């Protein structure tokens, strides 16, 4: 039995609501502490891919997500311990308001739940722009709502003047919740946004470096960093072992076989690895500016399962990596780069050829669009021509004016390199595009065998929040809007790599 504890000092940065300044404060704290010489582990509550990119830039370590809906609350201490291994401090940025979580499911996936699971003190970032004494009532409400959540400090944001700060601090003096900082209401640091939130770091790296440095300067000037570090060190040890990709694969394999996990023998480097052979198949992972959405644990699981993971940029490279036996295309913004992706005809042809060979391809959201016949980068009411994509799927995509957002529960409907029929997963959708048809329709449907290939089958039966059929399985291709965290279902990586090695 694997045992252990995690004793990394930690803080959760939360807020009463979205737009209060969590990302500003959390990223600034990460950068300021890292600049002081501390090894800072960055984390983000929820499924968001974009903020962790800024966290990684601030700290020099991978930004990691802590999502109780996707992975289950019981998995979070281990995932946290894995990400924070060797760190002097961990900073966890919350999501939405402190107590906001998955719709109609109580505290599930809320920042409050994660703080409780991690036994971490919470620092509340309050937008004080239009209040003075009322701030005490607000903080009191959040601090007393759930006695198991330790709201241990406040950072005041958008403070108008010295006089305003004096009034706010006076109001909070008797609250029992100390003030660890006050940030002035000044011109916002330039962090441009578009239809799905902040522009990812990969698309504006030089500017992003400047933005993160400016956030660090603001936080350093306005916050009590020694006091916050002392608060972080008050977090008690977190029982349980850190998550380990190789061990999680062994547990998944043992569960499938119906017997307990055996000794720690898997190295992911030889015949006993998930590949099932002595060679390590190359798994190409799409990256670059068009495909920035990925959880760090996915590549770690693929490596532990026996693959050589090679990242490539579909905007710049005209060939798949040498020896590619499988392809993973995560989320991102192909609609922004549709013209460039379409113009890269040699790579589109190489992807189509890989799919035609039966090699496993896992595509989520942006990857789904890239594998379609075409992508129109404007909504239906706008005049725009469809641009050719890889043509792997018998479907066409375009931008939409409607945001699709939320957690999903789904069941695998068709056999694929990822999961067997009947496997249940939890996932997340986040996009402003539509694809027609929305799912493979099976061997008797109108999309059967389009392009001369095998039939397009449905990938998922979504069972919550509403029932619908979604995504495509075609040969070795599994493509869907659903983002799934493989740490919750590590068998996905093992099955994928086994398919590569066949």
Note the pLDDT tens digit of each residue in 282-293: 999 999 999 999
List, in order, residues 6 or more apart from 377 with CB less than 8 Å away: 335, 336, 338, 339, 384, 387, 398, 399
* pLDDT, position 256: 72
Judge residue 130's burial from the number of C-beta atoms within 10 Å of its C-beta, 0-12 exposed, 13-18 middle, 19 or more buried.
exposed
* pLDDT, position 345: 98
With residue 23 as reference, give the H or E element that holds it.
helix 22-35
* pLDDT, position 187: 64
Q: Is the pLDDT of residue 14 over 60?
A: yes
CA-closest candidate to residue 369, choices 347, 344, 402, 342? 342
- Active-site choice (71, 223, 365, 500): 365
Return the residue matching tokens 């972080």. 232
* pLDDT, position 205: 66
* pLDDT, position 4: 83
Distance CA 395, CA 249 (A): 34
Radius of gyration of the chain (CA): 23
Q: What is the pLDDT of residues 413-432, one digit of tens each?
A: 999 999 999 999 999 999 99
Q: What mean pLDDT comes out for the span 50-64?
A: 94
As a whole-number percent, the residues of the chain with pLDDT over 90 amount to: 80
> Does the annotation count 365 as an active-site position?
yes
Q: What is the pLDDT of residues 137-158, one digit of tens each?
A: 999 999 999 999 999 999 999 9
Q: What mean pLDDT comes out for the span 221-249?
A: 97
């Amino acid at each position: 039995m694997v045992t252990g504890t995690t004793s990394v000092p930690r803080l959760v940065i939360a807020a009463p609501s979205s737009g209060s300044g969590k990302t500003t404060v959390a990223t600034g704290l990460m950068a300021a502490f890292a600049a002081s010489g501390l090894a800072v582990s960055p984390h983000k509550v929820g499924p968001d891919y974009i903020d962790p990119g800024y966290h990684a830039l601030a700290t020099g370590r991978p930004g990691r997500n802590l999502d109780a809906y996707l992975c289950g609350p019981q998995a979070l201490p281990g995932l946290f311990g894995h990400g924070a291994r060797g760190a002097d401090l961990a900073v966890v940025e919350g999501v939405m308001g402190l107590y906001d979580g998955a719709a109609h499911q109580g505290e599930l996936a809320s920042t409050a739940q994660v703080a409780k699971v991690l036994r971490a003190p919470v620092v509340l970032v309050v937008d004080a722009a239009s209040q003075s004494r009322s701030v005490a009532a607000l903080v009191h409400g959040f601090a007393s709502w759930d006695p198991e959540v330790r709201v241990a400090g406040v950072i005041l944001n958008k403070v108008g003047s010295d006089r305003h700060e004096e009034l706010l601090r006076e109001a909070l003096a008797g609250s029992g919740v100390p003030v660890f900082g006050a940030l002035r209401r000044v011109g916002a640091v330039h962090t441009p946004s578009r239809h799905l939130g902040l522009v990812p770091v990969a698309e504006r790296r030089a500017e992003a470096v400047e933005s993160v440095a400016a956030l660090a300067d603001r936080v350093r000037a306005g916050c009590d960093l020694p006091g916050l570090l002392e608060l972080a060190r008050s977090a008690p040890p977190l029982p349980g072992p850190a998550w380990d990709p190789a061990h999680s694969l062994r547990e998944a394999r043992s569960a499938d076989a119906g017997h307990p996990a055996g000794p720690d023998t898997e190295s992911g480097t030889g015949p006993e690895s998930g590949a099932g052979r002595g060679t390590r198949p190359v798994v190409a992972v799409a990256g670059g500016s068009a495909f920035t959405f990925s959880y760090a644990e996915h590549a770690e699981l693929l490596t532990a399962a026996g693959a050589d993971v090679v990242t490539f940029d579909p905007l710049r490279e005209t060939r798949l990596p040498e020896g590619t036996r499988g392809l993973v295309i995560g989320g991102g913004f192909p609609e922004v780069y549709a013209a460039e992706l379409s113009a890269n005809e040699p790579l589109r042809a190489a992807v189509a050829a890989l799919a035609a060979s039966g090699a496993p391809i896992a595509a989520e959201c942006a990857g789904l669009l890239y594998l379609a016949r075409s992508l129109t980068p404007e909504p239906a009411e706008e005049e725009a021509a469809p641009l050719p994509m890889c043509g792997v799927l018998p479907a066409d995509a375009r931008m939409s004016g409607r945001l699709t957002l939320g957690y999903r529960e789904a069941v695998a409907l068709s056999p694929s390199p990822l999961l067997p029929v009947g496997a249940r997963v939890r996932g997340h959708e986040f996009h402003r595009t539509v694809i027609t048809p929305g799912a493979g329709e099976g061997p008797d449907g109108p999309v059967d065998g389009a392009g001369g290939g095998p039939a397009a089958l449905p990938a998922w039966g979504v069972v919550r929040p509403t029932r619908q059929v979604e995504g495509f399985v075609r040969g070795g291709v599994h493509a869907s809007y659903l983002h799934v965290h493989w740490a919750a279902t590590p068998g996905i990586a093992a099955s994928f790599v086994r398919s590569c090695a066949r």
